[in-house]
Amino acid sequence: MSPRRPDLPSLRRDALAADPFAQFAAWYDEALLEVPLADAVTLATADADGAPDARMVLLKGHGPDGFRFFTNRGSAKARQLAADRRAALVVYWRELDRQVRIRGGVEPLSDPDSDAYFATRPRDSQLGAWASPQSRPLESREELERRFAELDAEYAEAAVPRPPFWGGYLLVPATVEFWQGRIGRLHDRFLYSREGGGWSIVRLAP
């Protein structure tokens, strides 16, 4: 964790948004101004034995429906999500001394949603999605570069389509916790939990 910043505001119950999506959007907009890679998040899943697994991914959308990320559907995380839809995201914005923890179920995004995002990616990233058998054994770096070069030539005169094995996921939260670092480790923590058609909010001890 970063050193405590005395200039950061406290997190008060009466200042929180009624739902976690609005609260996250407010914090995210602030992070965009100060954090070099505000979209970097940790995605935690469980393997077939129930052992935890985690890695960094990029958050590629957030709103009232949930939190979005994209990956190869043959990757380790995708295979784990196919077996157990429960997952967690952790966002840590060091420059603001803030953390957001999100837990819930994950569902695949539709093909049109995945197509729409894929079309916005840089061409090299599009080709990379085709070239990389993500999480699978690879004999050498040269093999990966050869595959990339072949695809580059194949799509030299055409738009790169989305691979059928690549797409998006939506994490629909059951709980969202907002953590604001404070001096003396007396941090502010608030937990949003789904309750009926809305959200309950409770303060947690640091």
Q: Is 185 a catalytic residue?
A: yes
Catalytic entry in 101, 121, 185, 203: 185
Are 172 and 105 within 8 A, CB to CB?
yes
Catalytic residues: 185
